[in-house]
Structure 1
Amino acid sequence: MLQAGYYHTLKVNRISDYGLYLADEEGNEVLLPNRYVSLNDAVGDTKRVFVYHDSENRLIATTEHPLATADQAAYLEVIDKNIHGAFLAWGITAKDLFVPIANQPFRMEVGRSYVVYVYRDPVSGRVTGSARLNRFISNETITVRPHEAVDVLVAARFAAGFRVIVNNRHWGVLYDNQLFRPVAIGDRMTAYVSRITPDRRIDVSLQQQGLDEVKAAADRLLALLGEGGGRLALSDRSTPEAIAAATGMSKKTFKKALGYLMSHGQACTEGETIKATERL
């Protein structure tokens, strides 16, 4: 079934003056306009497209990639608004994401960006945005586990760190003492679940834990050595600030990574410099 807000892999069913008509396995068709068609396209070819409703409520396909599909959160800029709601840049040339007034806990302003949740309206089937995040983000049933790698979107600042959206489903917390590089609202990144508290709070870290953390940090250090021609102006005596600025690691993690490389014969120290060995 063709649903707006999602990617579909469809077959070219027929060619018209307006573009390609793509069909799913049930024979449901959607138009891929000429601006997305190449001379090499032919009946029977398969195309991966994103489907949405146009201004006349018709399903349309595009090969462009939206900044978020249905069931995802994103940080989007308001480019227009009227008495009914706001229109956010969505990454599709011919379509903006509409956020109705009812879905705005505060009035959105043109030129500002907001974290919104993209969803498919169950009545109209149209893709809509909402800044009322708690309607969609919940920790009632946790679907992640400690040490698991997760996708996080930085959603809000609070006194001790940032609130993040985990895997587009849950609220999580990223504390300031876990930050070793700049982070801003709207940033999307991979993080790791450090713990889940009895009251269902998900704490995340930007660094892996245990041996995986050490190996990942060692790989990062090797990459930095490669970029620096085999040398890096750091040592285990460098300040935490200098280490964080150069590597994005805490000093504790950096020392573990350096120790790992040295024990495997991949690096050595010369004064205040790390040097890659011939094994690198």
Structure 2
Amino acid sequence: MIRLGEKQTLEVIKKVDFGVYLGEKAGSDEKVLLPAKQVPAGADLGSKVEVFIYKDSDDRLIATTSEPKIMLGDVRVLRVKETTRIGAFMDWGLEKDVLLPFKEQTAKVKAGDDVLCAMYIDKSSRLCVTMNVYKYLKNDSPYGKDDKVMGTVYEMSDNFGAFVAVDDIYSGLIAKKELYGNLKIGDRISARVVSVKEDGRLNLSVREKAYLQMDTDADKIFSMIENGGGKLPFTDKASPDLIREKTGMSKNEFKRAVGRLLKEGKIVIGPDSIELK
């Protein structure tokens, strides 16, 4: 069987002026064209050739010896070539660009963007890519608690947090309570593994353990006070939302960092502000 979107080793079963036809074996009813410019030197009837199977502009199966940047079921970063009314066309290393349909986009994309995608076969039996990569990610990562990892944010959820493809292969989540800064789809991030779920998915944090993070947070607050003319116009009595908005920290993290600065004698806390000492 000739399999769309995959690499296969097929046999040359017929030679024509414009290339060769490949099949599983001589006499196969199912065959696919390998254009003349793709035919390896010395290939003859019975020769075995490793090819990738996709569809040409006329929607016919065609073979290539070129290496695609993504294959069926893979998750890879592809670059947007152009956007149209039906979606975005992505560079995947072959002559015919692959479509990222509008309905498969989790964020607006533009030419030049690098986008994490998975390849699938649509209802019309065509190869397409999607930004909804969750079900294509693996759960058998080699990482454990406190390991440092790199990944790509591929979805933001108001309920759950930021979904991350670790190494662009493994499934990870930065829980809503662990979100800091302005993460967005497509961001490349460094994170720490907080825990590994029973199913193998990774729980992540973009922050260090509390005792390590405290020094970094204290330095950040001290810089904010300096840049604010020696004064921060709120204290640890402020609402959690205000503290997170202004500092990117939870209220407890803010209090710990302020406590560190206070202990070091660098600040004084007034009724509604924090000032340099």
For 1:233, the equivalent position in structure 2 comes to: none
For 1:103, the equivalent position in structure 2 comes to: 104
**In the alignment, structure 1 residue 89 sits paired with structure 2 residue 82:** no
For 1:243, the equivalent position in structure 2 comes to: none
Give the letter for the 1:91 counterpart: G
Offset of residue 125 of structure 1: 2.1
Offset of residue 19 of structure 1: 0.4
For 1:224, the equivalent position in structure 2 comes to: none
Q: What RMSD in Å do the two structures reach over aligned CA positions?
A: 3.6
For 2:134, the equivalent position in structure 1 comes to: 134
- TM-score under structure 1 length normalisation: 0.55
Structure 2 unaligned segments of length 5 or more: list them. 157-161, 175-185, 205-277
Q: Match of 1:91, SS?
A: coil
**In the alignment, structure 1 residue 44 sits paired with structure 2 residue 42:** no
**In the alignment, structure 1 residue 156 sits paired with structure 2 residue 153:** yes
- TM-score under structure 2 length normalisation: 0.55
Q: Is the 8 A contact 1:154 1:162 kept in 2?
A: no
Q: Match of 2:103, SS?
A: helix
Judged with a 3 Å threshold, the aligned counterparts in structure 2 of structure 1 residues 112 and 47 are, in CA distance, closer, same or farther, namely same
For 1:72, the equivalent position in structure 2 comes to: 74
Offset of residue 131 of structure 1: 0.9
Q: Is the 8 A contact 1:71 1:118 kept in 2?
A: yes
Structure 1 unaligned segments of length 5 or more: list them. 175-183, 188-192, 205-280
For 1:179, the equivalent position in structure 2 comes to: none
Give the length in aligned residue pairs. 181
Offset of residue 198 of structure 1: 4.6
Q: Match of 1:102, SS?
A: helix
Q: How does 1:222-241 map to 2 (within 5 A)?
A: none
Q: Match of 1:40, SS?
A: coil
Offset of residue 113 of structure 1: 1.1
For 1:5, the equivalent position in structure 2 comes to: 5
Q: In the TM superposition, what whole-angstrom CA distance separates every residue of 1:104-134 from its partner, at most 9, and x where no partner exists? A: 122210111111111122x322111001223
Q: Match of 1:68, SS?
A: coil
Q: How does 1:250-269 map to 2 (within 5 A)?
A: none
Q: Is the 8 A contact 1:53 1:60 kept in 2?
A: yes
Q: 1:60 & 1:199 partners in 2: Cα distance?
A: 39
Q: Is the 8 A contact 2:78 2:117 kept in 1?
A: yes
For 1:114, the equivalent position in structure 2 comes to: 115
